[in-house]
């Protein structure tokens, strides 16, 4: 559980520090001075959707941190642990998701510069790359199964499937929002309204790309050293 605890400790430290600043030297029992209009109290740096996404990403991070904790603990307690091979397709998938993430970044730039074509193209390429990534992940599962890495006999394979399914479900949820953005672009909605939504999609894709990199690292590239560490 160390991984999850480290994540939680960092999160709580940040939260505690922020709250400390809010509450330090504050005397809540003192009312506003007469004739003075109280100040606005919510942050202008964040909008509600942006803060909502940040909180959601914290929840998703907690989910994957726990998943990785479970993986490491299961690995440590196993009498023997067979590492997974590293199909080349995984590198291709990683590259495709990176292109998808960059395409959404480009779409966001397009929205900010009021360039409708770039926005539309970026969103479409981002969505297509994500779909390609999902198909690629499915092909990796097939490849592993064909090589005899069954779920019931190879826990590493089972962990890969369960983690990649969770990751894929989050991407599919994001694709729904991208589809909504594309629909609004097609309906000639003003670009100013789409800037925030595209920005949120971009942030979410970058986040899920980083999540995938971590999963790729712990499940494949770094699995052998991790196993040695766990033992």
Residues that bind another protein (CB under 8 A): 1, 4-5, 8, 11-12, 15-16, 19, 22-23, 26, 28-29, 31-35, 37-43, 46-49, 51-52, 55-56, 58-59, 62-63, 66-67, 70, 73-74, 77-80, 151-152, 155, 158-159, 162, 166
Question: Closer to another protein at the Cβ: 119 or 171?
Answer: 171
Question: Closer to another protein at the Cβ: 59 or 146?
Answer: 59
What are the structure tokens assigned to 98, written together? Answer: 């990176």
Question: Closer to another protein at the Cβ: 33 or 88?
Answer: 33
As measured in angstroms, the least distance from the Cβ of 152 to another protein is 4
For the chain, list the strands marked E by DSSP. Answer: none
As measured in angstroms, the least distance from the Cβ of 80 to another protein is 7
As measured in angstroms, the least distance from the Cβ of 106 to another protein is 28
What residues contact 93, with CB distance under 8 A and at least 6 apart?
133, 136, 137, 140
Distance CA 129, CA 69 (A): 30
As measured in angstroms, the least distance from the Cβ of 127 to another protein is 22
Distance CA 133, CA 187 (A): 28
Q: What is the H or E stretch that residue 230 is in?
A: helix 223-230
Question: Closer to another protein at the Cβ: 72 or 119?
Answer: 72
Q: What is the H or E stretch that residue 175 is in?
A: helix 155-186
DSSP annotation of 82 reads P
DSSP annotation of 131 reads H
Question: Closer to another protein at the Cβ: 173 or 222?
Answer: 173
Measure CA 171 to chain center. Answer: 8
As measured in angstroms, the least distance from the Cβ of 84 to another protein is 14
As measured in angstroms, the least distance from the Cβ of 44 to another protein is 10
Question: Closer to another protein at the Cβ: 92 or 230?
Answer: 230
Distance CA 76, CA 55 (A): 31
Beta carbons within 10 angstroms of residue 44's beta carbon = 6
């Amino acid at each position: 559980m160390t991984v999850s605890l480290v994540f939680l400790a960092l999160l709580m430290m940040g939260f505690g520090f922020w709250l400390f600043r809010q509450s330090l030297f504050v005397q809540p029992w003192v009312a506003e001075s007469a004739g003075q209009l109280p100040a606005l109290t919510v942050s202008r740096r964040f909008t509600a959707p942006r803060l909502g996404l940040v909180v959601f990403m914290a929840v998703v991070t907690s989910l994957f941190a726990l998943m990785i904790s479970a993986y490491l603990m299961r690995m440590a307690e196993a009498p023997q642990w067979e590492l997974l091979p590293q199909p080349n397709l995984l590198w291709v998938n990683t590259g495709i998701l990176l292109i998808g993430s960059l395409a959404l970044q480009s779409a966001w730039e397009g929205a900010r510069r009021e360039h409708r074509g770039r926005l539309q193209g970026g969103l479409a390429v981002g969505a297509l790359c994500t779909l390609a990534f999902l198909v690629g992940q499915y092909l990796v599962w097939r490849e592993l199964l064909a090589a005899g890495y069954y779920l019931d006999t190879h826990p590493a394979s089972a962990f890969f499937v369960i983690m990649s399914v969770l990751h894929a479900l989050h991407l599919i949820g994001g694709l729904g929002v991208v589809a909504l953005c594309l629909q609004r672009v097609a309906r000639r909605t003003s670009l100013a309204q789409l800037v925030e939504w595209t920005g949120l999609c971009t942030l979410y894709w970058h986040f899920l790309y980083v999540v995938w990199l971590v999963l790729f690292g712990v499940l494949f590239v770094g699995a052998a050293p991790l196993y040695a560490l766990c033992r």
